[in-house]
Amino acid sequence: MRRAAPVGTIVIFGATGDLTRRKLLPALFHLDVQGLLPPAVAIVGASRGGLDDEAFRGLAREAVARFGRHPPAGPSWDRFAARLRYAAVNLTGGGGLAPLVRLLGALARGGPSGRLFYAAIPPAAFAELVRALGEAGLAPGSRIVLEKPFGRDLASARELNAVVHEVFDESQVFRIDHYMGKETVQNILALRFSNGLFEPIWNRRYLDHVQVTVAEEIGIEGRGDFYEQTGCLRDMVQTHLLQVLTFVAMEPPLSFDPDRLRDEKVRVLRAAHVCHPSRAVFGQYEGYRAEEGVAPDSQVETFVALELEIENWRWAGVPFYLRTGKRLARRASEVTLVFREVPYNVFREVGVEALPCDHLTIRIQPDEGVTLAINAKRPGAGFELGRATMDFDYERAFPTELLDAYELLLLEAMEGDHTLFLREDAVERAWEILSPLLEAPPPVRPYPPGSWGPPEADELIAPRRWHLHGAGRAASGARRPDQPRAAEAPGGPLGTASGTG
């Protein structure tokens, strides 16, 4: 096993790209402002663009000003700018990585020699980059961060893993999924394994079903070429949603040693059935085909809903419903665990024909927190029931500035902590679960922007219905299946609501 030295240099391949400008440079600047970036660490941008150090600093300043949380000014910016260097590289032409090799050699003389390579480049170029790093002799003592999606399917993921392992040991590889860096995703583990209240009821005996929703208001944001090659299934489900599912469904690890935690995540994926196309719905928002870079007859999905089964002692018979899409009604990411109906309704004699099921909702973004929705007696004479919520809000409970997901994951990679990164067997099993949908995808159904996707998604989950915390009525006043009935709104009376929502 090749041991990585303490990181002295972070090298970002794709230094002029969108990911670097929107996420990586602002994240690194914020870490520096917070005093979390070691003083000796240098940051090198590497790309084919004809920049120099000062031009790269100008690019970084513009990126931080536009996308960062702190203004690029004063001593904090001067300190950060002094870290920034630039190297012109060309993976396919003459010169290769020679300028970078020279720069890294010079930087290593004044501090730690360890390197963290960040591949902020198209996934199709990962293999080429890895081989170039190997040929340049830069792999020993280094770590490499690879963005998602890792491969396009099971075969390509295995092929890429083989290429990576020709150059890097698995201990040097950090496959990133930025959702794993979100505080509320990690809080799923704290909620389950540090509270005696929840873990005993986190199983098939008490839960009717589980939902994972990642809804986006935005469209493809000018990334037509990328999305035509990727689609929603590869972009979101194979990575974000399946990884969140593993945190919800995993068994308690023996410890929080990175590999013990990742062992349990892989066991969940191995227990999950592969997804049959009959249990999935693909959608495409109206207007997608008019986007730049999109084929006029495109069949690429911008929405996916599917049902998964996990066949083990904890989850047998409990369906997991996953839903994600572009141009939906609002931005929200959450996990909802819906509890079973009470075994006997003693309130029928006072006119309550059906009791809404309790549900626990973990809000990942934008309003991070946890909500438990229950039935309670309304004040006053008689015995009228209403819907009540018990709410935990991160911002109110912990009034400190949260680290952004990329900030946390960059720190973890620098420290060599794999806990929140994906292991090769987890990536390959995730592709295996979705292989039937890649080989024989269901038909793509149109849906209007601002809706909750095609109506077939509602049919998939019926007689249950989709839940979204805080969802209100549609403008027309009609209730959609993803919205609570008026009788189920917080504080409202209970009437004939479904018992499985």
Hey, which residues are catalytic here? 240
Taking the C-alpha atoms of residue 392 and residue 402, their distance in angstroms, rounded to an integer, is: 16
**Residue 468, both tokens:** 């979204």
DSSP 300: -
DSSP 264: H
198 close to 230: Cβ distance less than 8 angstroms:
no
Handedness of CA 94, 96, 101, 103 (dihedral sign): positive
Taking the C-alpha atoms of residue 308 and residue 301, their distance in angstroms, rounded to an integer, is: 19
**Residue 108, both tokens:** 């290593």
**Which runs of consecutive H residues, i.e. helices, occur in 305-423?**
394-397, 405-415
Taking the C-alpha atoms of residue 121 and residue 131, their distance in angstroms, rounded to an integer, is: 15
216 close to 331: Cβ distance less than 8 angstroms:
yes
For strands 114-119 and 142-146, give the pairing: parallel
Which residue in 220, 154, 157 sits closest to 433, CA to CA?
Answer: 154
DSSP 344: S
Instruction: For residue 68, give the 3-state DSSP assignment.
Output: coil
318 close to 210: Cβ distance less than 8 angstroms:
yes
